[in-house]
Amino acid sequence: MSNVHYMIVEHEGGWAYKVGDVFSERYATHDEARGAAERAAAGQMLPGATEDIEFQDEAGVWHEEVSLGKDRPDTDVTG
Which spans in 15-79 are helix H? 30-44
Buried b / exposed e over 38-70, threshold 16 CB at 10 Å, is bebbeeeeeeeeeeeeeeeeeeeeeeeeeeeee
Residue 60 has a pLDDT of 94
CA-CA distance, 40 to 28, in Å (whole number)? 18
Residue 70 has a pLDDT of 86
pTM of the model: 0.74
User: What residue numbers bound the domain in which 67 lies?
Assistant: 3-78
How many domains does the structure of the chain reveal?
1
Q: What angle do CA 50, 1, 25 make, to 5 degrees?
A: 80
Per-residue pLDDT of the chain (79 residues; tens, 9 = 90+): 689 999 999 999 999 999 999 999 999 999 999 999 999 999 988 888 999 999 999 999 999 999 888 888 899 999 9
